[in-house]
Chain A
Amino acid sequence: MTELLQNLIDGLGRGSIYALLALGVAVVFGVMHLLNFAHGELITVAGYVAFWTLGANWSWYLVAPLIILTAIAVSLLIERIAFSRVRGASDFTMLLTSFGVHFVVSAIFLLYVSAGVKTYDQPWWLANTFKVGSLNVEVFDTAVIVVTLITLVATGWLLQRTMFGLSLRAAAADFETARLMGVRSDSVIRGAFALSGLLAGIAGVFWLMREGNTTPSAGIAPMLSGVLAALIGGLGSLRGAVIGGFALGLAEILLRSWLPDGIERFTDGFVFLLIALLFIFRPQGLITVPHAERV
Chain B
Amino acid sequence: MLSRLFPRTDRDIVFPMGGAVLLFGLLVAGGLLYQTILGSGSAERLVTGMMIDAIIVVGIQIYIGNTGVLSFGHIGFGAIAGYVFAVLAIAPTEKAKRIPDAPFGLAGVDMNPWLALVIAIVVVAVVALFVGLGLTRSGAQSGAVAPTVITLALLFVTHEVARNWPKLTGGDRAGLGFRVGQALDSRVPIYIGLLLALVVARLFAQSRSGRLAAAAREDDLAARAMGVNPVVQQMVALVISVAVVGIGASLEVYEVGSILPSNFFFDYTLLTLAMLIVGGRNGVTGAVVGVVVITIADETARRMGADGFEFFGIGLDGAPLDWIFRENLRTVVLGVAMLGFMIWRPLGLLDDWELDEWLHRRFGADAEEPETLDEALAREVIELHASNISVSFGGFRALTAVGLEARTGEVVGIIGPNGAGKTTLINVLTGMVEASDGSFELQHVEVSKEPSYKLARRGIVRTFQNLRLFGALTVRENVETSALVAQQYRSTEVIPSVDALIAEAGLWDQRDRRARELDYGNSRRLELARAVAMGPAFLLLDEPTSGMSDTESEQMIQQVRHMAATVGAGVIVIDHDLNFITGISDRIYALDQGRVIAHGTPAEVQSNSHVRAAYLGTEGS
- Seen from chain A, the residues whose Cβ lies within 8 Å of a Cβ on chain B are 29, 33, 35, 37, 82, 85-86, 89-93, 95-97, 99-104, 106-108, 110-112, 115, 217, 220, 224, 227-228, 231, 234-236, 265-266, 268-269, 272, 275-280, 283-285, 289, 291-295
Contact = CB atoms under 8 A, between A and B. Distances in A.
B547 to A, nearest CB: 17
A86 B161 CA distance: 36
Contact of B328 (A110, A284, A294): A110
Nearest to B267: A103
Contacts of A217: 266
Contacts of A293: 221
Given A291-B141, A293-B221, A294-B466, 5 more contacts: A86-B343, A92-B70, A103-B338, A111-B331, A115-B328
Nearest to B276: A96
Contacts of B342: 86, 93, 96-97, 100
Nearest to B141: A283
Interface in B298-342: 326-329, 331-332, 334-336, 338-339, 342
A236 B145 CA distance: 11
B145 A100 contact: no
B290 to A, nearest CB: 13
B145 A269 contact: no
Given A104-B332, A231-B146, A97 B134 contact: no
Interface of B: 68-70, 72, 130-131, 133-135, 137-146, 148-150, 152-154, 156-157, 160-161, 164-165, 221, 266, 270, 273, 277, 326-329, 331-332, 334-336, 338-339, 342-343, 346, 393, 423, 427, 432-433, 464-466, 468, 542
B134 A103 contact: no
A277 B329 contact: no
B161 A266 contact: yes
Nearest to A105: B335
B164 A265 contact: yes
B201 to A, nearest CB: 19
B160 A104 contact: no
B16 to A, nearest CB: 24
Contacts of A228: 149, 153
Nearest to A293: B221
A197 to B, nearest CB: 20
A291 B221 CA distance: 13
B467 to A, nearest CB: 11
A294 B343 CA distance: 27
Contacts of B135: 279
Given A86-B342, A283-B138, A295 B466 contact: yes
Contacts of B464: 295
Contacts of A106: 331
18 contacts: A35-B145, A85-B343, A90-B346, A95-B145, A95-B148, A97-B339, A97-B342, A101-B339, A103-B331, A103-B335, A110-B332, A224-B153, A268-B156, A276-B150, A279-B137, A279-B150, A283-B140, A292-B433
Nearest to A276: B134
B266 A107 contact: no
B298 to A, nearest CB: 13
Nearest to B277: A96
Contact of B137 (A33, A95, A280): A280
Contacts of B130: 276
B615 to A, nearest CB: 25
B334 to A, nearest CB: 7
Nearest to B332: A107
Contact of B160 (A234, A269, A275, A277): A269
A272 B134 CA distance: 11
Contacts of A85: 343
Given A85-B343, A265-B164, A295-B423, A275 B150 contact: yes
A138 B66 CA distance: 51
B138 A111 contact: no
B165 to A, nearest CB: 7
Contact of B338 (A29, A96, A115, A295): A96
Nearest to B147: A279
Given A95-B145, A96-B338, A272-B154, A220 B266 contact: yes
Contacts of A269: 157, 160-161
The listed residue with most B CB atoms (<10 A of its CB), out of A269, A277, A283, is: A283
Nearest to B433: A292
A91 B134 contact: no
A292 B326 CA distance: 50
A219 B68 CA distance: 27
A127 to B, nearest CB: 25
Nearest to A273: B157
B331 A110 contact: yes
B470 to A, nearest CB: 14
B162 to A, nearest CB: 10
A78 to B, nearest CB: 11
Given A103-B334, A266-B161, A275-B153, A95 B70 contact: yes
